[in-house]
Chain A
Amino acid sequence: MPASADYDAAELKLIIAAHQSLEGPLLPLLHAIQDSFGHIPAKAHAQICDALNITRAELHGVISFYHDFREAPAGRHVLKICRAEACQSVGGNELAEGLLSKLGLDWHGTTPNGAVTIEPVYCLGLCACAPAAMVDDRVVGRIDADRLDRLLAEAGA
């Protein structure tokens, strides 16, 4: 996960230019903005709307529809824990709940030191080695409480 950077109008302009000619540019553009800035800064809305000729309401509608897009930066790392059925069948729920209560967080919460945000995910395609989790882009299978503790420690939580 990239560190959240401040909004930079010049950089945004370059990102927009790189995506503007795509068919259906908005999702790739939003992903690219989030990759650079860690979220979709509210300040960027006007520039995006102008470039793609959409209204602010349309843009807001899209950003809020998708679980991936953030209106505020996450922690330095994101730990996603699978909540879907195959992971539940081998105790995924209990594991996730145990972790959240130990950290005193709810889903989507961030550790007080800003190191890790914990998010639910519905299936990582690791259902034959469940329960599964992902730290940023790194997948982890057959997790247990010890493994989760180690992942959190590595991420600086």
Chain B
Amino acid sequence: MKIYVPMDSAAKALGAEDVVAALRAADPKAEIIRTGTRGMIWLEPLVEVEIDGVRHGFGPAEPGDVAGILDGTSAKALGPVEELDWMKRQTRLTFARVGVIDPLSLDDYQAHGGLKGLRIALDLSAQQVVDEVKTSGLRGRGGAGFPTGIKWQTVHDAEAPQKYIVCNADEGDSGTFADRMIMEGDPFTLIEGMAIAGLGVGATKGYVYLRSEYPDAIAVMTRAVELARAAGVLGHDILGSGRAFDMEIRKGAGAYVCGEETSLLNSLEGKRGVVRAKPPLPALEGFLGRPTVVNNVISLATVPVIFEKGAQHYADFGLGRSRGTVTLQIAGNVARGGLFETAFGISLGEVVNDLGGGTASGRPVKAVQVGGPLGAYMPVSKFDTPLGYEEFDQAGGLIGHAGLTVFDDGTDMLGMARFAMEFCAVESCGKCTPCRIGAVRGVETLDRIAEGDAAALPLLTDLCETMTDGSLCALGGFTPFPVMSAVTHFPDDFARQKEAAE
């Protein structure tokens, strides 16, 4: 009997190890295969049993459910996993293998299309590799949405004795976990994507800067790099091509700002993670002053499928200038949280109400913060906004890394605005005054508003303008998004406090 149980940290956090122990005890002969997660976190730990070649799901499983799972009588039976609504409605390109394969089996990986993209890229010229990425329309999934092919072109065109591929795996945004899920569930796809990037721009060395808050992802990625090297996927002669590419996993040290690419590069060099002024662009003077591609995990992990299926195939999905798929992460106070990969263009309301099933508390939704701690709080009145870079921009928000955090009507938006300022103050790199000092003033000003000081609200608006205009990076520059969106869309939460004090 073949049984699949995720080893993703969300599944572990919900008791997957206890379920595995119970399965082993109940049926010592069962073959238990550890996988990533399918992304249906509300069903984790999701145990899958193969029956006549079809994987049937049982979840959320507890150790006491094991007997019923093994004899097929469990009340937690969900039927064939691929037939579940959540799975059928997705377009899984980047996440095609996550939850399906053993993350650390290169054989499994190749049996599911892995390394095809790299083999195709090895037969192309460097310029053709870059052109393919341009044709796909892929834009950076780390937040800013910059066209990946154009970034690669700059590095490709730069002359230098050494170039680098740096993967930004700092994923500090609350409400996001797509990077973690793919690194734990399909690490070879990131390795393959980085190798293709190396071929495209002429870089032979790569680094993954992975946040220390993700010990499971660090362990899986580290092992995957060793396995890839042993199998000749990495090294001085990748897949026997005579071309070289190798990489290292580097652990962050708990600074949110190190997700900003220049701060990340300083950190990688062993310095304080202070943001660098641009220019020079990292593409020209990046790691150790050399031309460097800095890309998000999902950007790089999407590259293999673009080569495997063809750039046009990828570009055919999407909306406007947002091509391909977006890996939505549905989080917070939501009935069905998890990862859902779909073409750009789905509306915010469909994601929250239809996919997410509304709040976990059963109370009405009040706001959804989209794009992490620097993203706006979207009210229910904006639920028709389609998920697309430009569309969200027009609606006064941003997609960022595509995390959506749902809040119910019990939420105090003044408190959330205060937290945004507090977070900025704690995590500021200290380089510019509007961010370093402004965020501290922001917390004080919000405390005054909470105490009923009406004169403080215009001060807050001014302060936010100063932060927007005078900050070097988006930490100081975008903190006004959550703050001012809360003020604009939920004025009662800022006025009610005033009345209470009067």
Contacts and interface: CB of A to CB of B under 8 A. Distances in A.
Contacts of B177: 125-128
Interface stretch (A5-13, A83-91, A96-104, A110-118): A83-91
B288 A24 contact: yes
Query: Which interface class (under 10, 10 to 19, 20 to 34, 35 or more) fits A?
Result: 35 or more
Given A66-B253, A90-B332, A139-B12, A125 B176 contact: yes
B213 A27 contact: no
Contact of B270 (A62, A87, A137): A62
A86 B174 contact: yes
A33 interface: no
Interface string B233-276: 00000000000000010111111100000000001111111100
B172 interface: yes
Given A85-B332, A125-B214, A127-B176, A69 B406 contact: no
Interface size range on B against A = 35 or more
B416 A125 contact: no
Contacts of A134: 213
A68 interface: yes
Interface in A125-154: 125-130, 132, 134, 137-142
Contacts of B338: 128
B253 A130 contact: no
B215 A137 contact: yes
Interface string B326-350: 0001111110011100000000000
A143 B497 CA distance: 31
A15 interface: no
Nearest to A133: B13
A105 interface: no
A89 B288 CA distance: 41
B192 to A, nearest CB: 22
Contacts of B248: 22
B13 A139 contact: yes
B318 interface: no
A95 interface: no
Q: Which of B12, B271, B360 has the most CB of A within 10 A?
A: B271
A129 B373 contact: no
Of the candidates B176, B253, B339, the one having the most CB atoms from chain A within 10 angstroms of its own CB is B253
Given A30-B253, A86-B332, A24 B268 contact: yes
A68 B174 contact: no
Contacts of A65: 255, 272-274
Contacts of A16: none
Interface in B343-395: 360-361, 369, 373
23 contacts: A27-B253, A65-B274, A84-B373, A85-B332, A86-B175, A86-B332, A86-B405, A87-B174, A122-B172, A122-B256, A122-B427, A123-B173, A124-B213, A125-B217, A126-B177, A127-B332, A127-B337, A128-B41, A128-B338, A129-B41, A129-B337, A139-B10, A141-B10
Given A122-B172, A128-B42, 15 more contacts: A27-B253, A27-B270, A58-B271, A68-B253, A84-B423, A86-B332, A87-B174, A123-B213, A125-B10, A126-B10, A127-B337, A128-B329, A128-B334, A132-B13, A142-B13
Interface of B: 9-10, 12-14, 41-42, 44, 171-177, 179-181, 205, 212-217, 248, 250-256, 267-274, 287-288, 329-334, 337-339, 360-361, 369, 373, 403, 405-408, 411, 416, 419, 423, 427
